[in-house]
Copies of this chain bind each other. A is one copy, B any other.
Amino acid sequence: MSQQQTSKAADAGSRESERRHTILRAAIEVFARKGYHGCRIADVASEAGVAYGLVYHYFKNKDELLETVFETGWSGFITRVRAVAEGEGTLEQKVRRIADVAFEAYRVDPRTVKVLIVEIARSPGGRVNRQTAFTDAIQLCTQMLTRAQAAGELRPEVDLQLAAAMFFGNIEMAFTALVMGMVDPKDPEKLEQAKKQLAEFFLHGVHAREGATEVAWKKDQEKSATRSKVPRRS
């Protein structure tokens, strides 16, 4: 979303006064730093370097401001995910591409991602908007999985809805790990590995091939070495 701009975004930049945009950015900043609770309009205003009242010139109230932050960021993300999910390619390719999208979003704008991640499961007051957005995303993935299942790319017994939910759970947790400092967000090496594992994990889980314990996988590996055409990404 924050990326290139259609004429729409251009509008936002020029006609609709960059003030509004400044305030939006400031809101993301404060929101990410202090969370939904500690986010006061006064902070946003001073972060943006504008007068308190101006915030209300551009946004009806606090809720609308936060809602806009959420919607803007989320719709950008979801648009890209949709492009992948509904595009061409094998399930494996799509899963990897979605991981790409997610990590790229993080690289470009960690603040926004943090806000989305942290506030995702929340429905403050009575707002259902976020749940809806999230549910939609899962629906989107469910469809992708449905097609994949038709192509025989899925183990037949998986529940699609649940699997889709868990995929997002994985993405969320990968980021949570970042946000919590369990993985150094600065190290592109680590990021790359995390991304890779995200896809790998979703597709194949963590268990050694075979169900056996012991070092059975070693033998298995030998055996399968001959016929293993696919596995590992080059």
| Residues of A participating in the B interface, judged by any CB pair closer than 8 Å | 35-38, 90-92, 117-118, 121-125, 131, 134-135, 138, 145, 151-159, 161-163, 165-166, 168-170, 172-174, 176-177, 179-180, 182-183, 193-194, 197-198, 200-218, 220, 223, 227-231, 233
Contacts of A161 in B (CB 8 A): 177, 182-183
Q: Provide the bound-state CA to CA distance between A24 and B38, in Å.
A: 24
A-B contact pairs, 6 of them (CB 8 A): A35-B122, A135-B180, A152-B216, A159-B194, A161-B177, A161-B183
> Can you tell how many copies of this chain the complex includes?
2
Residue of B nearest to A231 (CB): B211
Contact between A174 and B180, CB atoms less than 8 A apart: no
Selected from B162, B205, B214, B223, the residue in CB contact (under 8 A) with A152 is B214
Residues from chain B with a CB closer than 8 A to the CB of A202 are 205-206
State whether A182 touches B135 (Cβ < 8 A): yes
Beyond contacts A35-B123, A168-B173: 6 other A-B pairs, Cβ-Cβ < 8 A, are A166-B201, A169-B170, A169-B172, A172-B173, A203-B205, A211-B229
Bound-state Cα–Cα, A82 to B220, Å:
32
Counting chain B CB atoms within 10 Å of each CB, the highest count among A35, A117, A166, A209 belongs to A166
Contact between A206 and B170, CB atoms less than 8 A apart: no
**Given known contacts A118-B121, A123-B35, A155 and B215 CB-to-CB distance under 8 angstroms:** no
CB distance from A69 to the nearest CB of B (A): 16
> In whole Å, how far is A189's beta carbon from the nearest beta carbon of chain B?
12
Say yes or no: B213 contacts A90, CB within 8 Å: yes
- Taking a contact as CB atoms under 8 Å apart, the answer to whether A165 and B153 are in contact is no
Inter-subunit contact B162/A166 (CB<8 Å): no
Once the chains bind, are A180 and B131 in contact (CB under 8 Å)? Answer: yes
Instruction: Tell me if A212 and B229 are in contact (CB < 8 A).
Output: yes
Partner of A153, one of B154, B198, B213: B213
Name which residue of chain B comes closest to A176, CB basis. Answer: B121
CA distance A197 to B165 in the complex (A): 12
Identify A165's interface contact among B125, B177, B231, CB under 8 A.
B177
Is the pair B155, A165 in contact by a Cβ cutoff of 8 Å? no
Option from B159, B182, B230 in Cβ contact (under 8 Å) with A193: B159
Among A38, A90, A174, A208, find the residue whose CB has the most chain B CB atoms closer than 10 A: A208
Docked-complex contact A208 and B155, CB < 8 angstroms: yes
